[in-house]
Structure 1
Amino acid sequence: MTWAEQLERDGYALLPAAIAPAAVAEAVRTWSEITAANAEADAVLTGSAGPAYGARNVLDLWPGVVSLVRTGPVRNALRVTLGPGAGVVRGLYFDKPPGHSWALPWHKDYSLAVKERRPSSHFTKPTVKAGVPHVIAPQSVLDRMLTVRIHLDPMTPDNGPLRVIPGSHRFYDQRNDEPRDAVTLECGAGDALLMRPLLTHASGHSRAETGLHRRIVHLECAADCVLADGFEWMWFCNVEG
């Protein structure tokens, strides 16, 4: 089965070794410098006296992060899936630092980052996250999006790996998902996970004794640069450069 066939069937697919080891090491170094320089920013998420475990607004903090999806395998996957006009529309960062782990329950990704909120028949539940307006998108928009998760560390049973429900991307409401067994994903540093926003997913805590990070750059991509009702993406960085 090809990655495209698995993505269509299951809502996710893995591109092994999509990012070269040297590029992974450079990304880790660059991001460490950025978080140190922006430690007090609202967009950088830290626990009490702990290291950064996440960040929003990554496209502002680290504009060069887009280069990670302009590599051959990832760019080709986005071109095939979303078309030549695809753009990165939001960037997040996740880590589970040793001794500072966290978990997320089962959920789907519905939120879009937009420039401003306005009355709409398509977008609902306006909120503000780290100073950026967000809205909940309908399925018609989410079905034309794809998330790329670039793994900067191996993801193993020890460091709170992602769990997914195959095929759940076909359903907007989690309560309508078909009863399917969850799959626990494992991968290496440099692997890229492609996943549809409506794929139901979760992750647990790292094991207490692990010394592993689980650093991931999460880049949400869309096929269309224009949204309904006069809405505009907060960011739109064309994948083709």
Structure 2
Amino acid sequence: MSMMELKQLDQLGYVLLEDIYSTGEMQSLAQVIAARLAQIVNTSALRSRGELYGSRNLVDTVPEIVALGLDQRLMGFLQAVLGGNFGLVRALYFDKPPNRTWSLPWHRDETIAVQRNDLGGTYFTKPTMKGGVAHVVAPPSLLSKMLTLRIHIDAMTDENGPLSVIPGSHRLTEANLSAPDPVTIHAWQGDVMAMRPLLSHSSCASRPGTLQHRRIVHLEYAASPDLPDGYAWHTYLSLHSLNQ
């Protein structure tokens, strides 16, 4: 963790942390995820024609993710950004399997997973259920205090549908999101991309004929275990909970 990395995150809304995990660690992680998710038959595992392309609720389905998300190599950065009370609140998995690719339009990550979404109030809106878990849309005041880490199990190249971002858009209103030029993100296997949820981002489809996967573990963190209006995080795993 360096001051330059923290400055880039603050100004641009994202920063690439290079060489956090080894090739061997990423290969082992891919095998563990594949084995765990092969046993899942509910809607938390997302498949198309037999190909797994994503999974929600990874903390529950792949418990090894907890140690990964609270790894000591990430602690200094997470504490510098979020403070000492931060917790892991959601973990997702994405893949773009060869011949089963997909894309996403420009968007921000505005939903959070909660224990109940029927409590009313004015702070949270648009209650939904995803993979059997309650979700709500959170306001910018909360999302600006959160952080996402994207762990690259595979290298992310022009060939396998890389992520694109609008630098600085985590500070912009919806009306101004198209102002800056987008940037395409490339990463090596084992790199970790840190980004603010309000950073506008999109993902293009993989190129036809590619044999490359693009597997990502997507980890979301919050600065505090407390939510207003009686709401509670679906999951809140801190360093303290890991050590119990």
TM-score under structure 2 length normalisation: 0.94
Distance (Å, rounded) in 1 between the aligned partners of 2:239 and 2:127 = 27
Distance (Å, rounded) in 2 between the aligned partners of 1:72 and 1:185 = 25
Distance (Å, rounded) in 2 between the aligned partners of 1:177 and 1:139 = 15
Give 4+ residue runs of structure 1 displaced > 2 Å after superposition: 69-73, 173-178
Task: Please name the residue that 2:144 is paired with.
Answer: 143
Consecutive unaligned residues of structure 2, counting only runs of 5 or more, are none
SS at match of 1:101: coil
For each residue in 1:55-94, what CA deviation from the matched residue of structure 2 results, as whole angstroms up to 9, or x when unmatched? 1111110122022233333221111100111111011110
Percent of residue pairs identical: 43
Task: Please name the residue that 2:235 is paired with.
Answer: 235
Task: Please name the residue that 2:33 is paired with.
Answer: 31
1:131 and 2:142 aligned: no
TM-score under structure 1 length normalisation: 0.95
SS at match of 1:19: coil
Give the superposition deviation at 1:169: 0.4
Q: 1:35 to 1:80 in 2, by over 3 A?
A: same
Q: Which amino acid aligns with 2:223?
A: A
Alignment of 1:95-106 (within 5 A): 95-106=95-106
Q: 1:178 to 1:96 in 2, by over 3 A?
A: closer
Aligned-residue Cα RMSD (Å) equals 1.3
Contact 1:161–1:186 (8 Å) recurs in 2: yes
Give the superposition deviation at 1:203: 0.6
Consecutive unaligned residues of structure 1, counting only runs of 5 or more, are none
Contact 1:53–1:94 (8 Å) recurs in 2: yes
Number of equivalent positions: 238
Task: Please name the residue that 1:54 is paired with.
Answer: 54
Q: 1:28 to 1:231 in 2, by over 3 A?
A: same
Q: 1:147 to 1:24 in 2, by over 3 A?
A: same
Alignment of 1:1-241 (within 5 A): 2-38=4-40, 40-47=41-48, 49-117=49-117, 118-171=119-172, 173-177=173-177, 179-239=179-239, 241=242
